[in-house]
Amino acid sequence: MTKQLLTLRVNGEPRTVAADPHHTLLEVLREELGLTGTKHGCELGECGACTVLVEGVPVLACLTLPALVGDADVTTVEGLATGESLHPLQIAFAEEGAAQCGYCTPGMLMTAKALLDATARPTRAQIASAISGNLCRCTGYTAIYEAIEKAATRS
């Protein structure tokens, strides 16, 4: 298959790559742009590990074709911090031990960011609902809830 030129706006930066048109946003981010912070867990839309934000909305990068993203803003875990300042979610996740193996963490953080951007003080039930598409096999979710709640009080 012939590669096609593609320009994406990722973490505020315009990036032009040549990619197979059938390759997913996940593949392009990881393999063409070197943004390996976004994880693949199933490549079937089941686990949420590949969650990124497109115009602030969580999407599964493994089910998204880059062509459909166009010039919309894509935010990955690498774009979560601002300069030297980590996002309050990143600090709270560290403090609460909300990342154990860390593999679901980038997707979890992006989903949590979208939640906090829309709902400044979410209830526990709202958090549980928001992250229900992000599977974590390590924590039992308790520390993740606590971290998101803590970040909410700080942002």
- Helices 142-154 and 88-96 meet at what angle, rounded to 10? 140
By beta-carbon proximity to other proteins, the closer residue of 1 and 5 is 1
Q: Minimum CB separation from other proteins for residue 81, in Å?
A: 6
Distance CA 145, CA 55 (A): 24
**By the criterion CB under 8 A, which residues form the site for other proteins?**
1, 20, 30-31, 34-44, 46-47, 49, 76-78, 80-81, 86, 90, 93-97, 99-106, 109, 127-129, 131-145
Q: Minimum CB separation from other proteins for residue 26, in Å?
A: 11
By beta-carbon proximity to other proteins, the closer residue of 121 and 137 is 137
By beta-carbon proximity to other proteins, the closer residue of 64 and 105 is 105
Residue 139 contacts residue 145 (beta carbons within 8 Å):
no
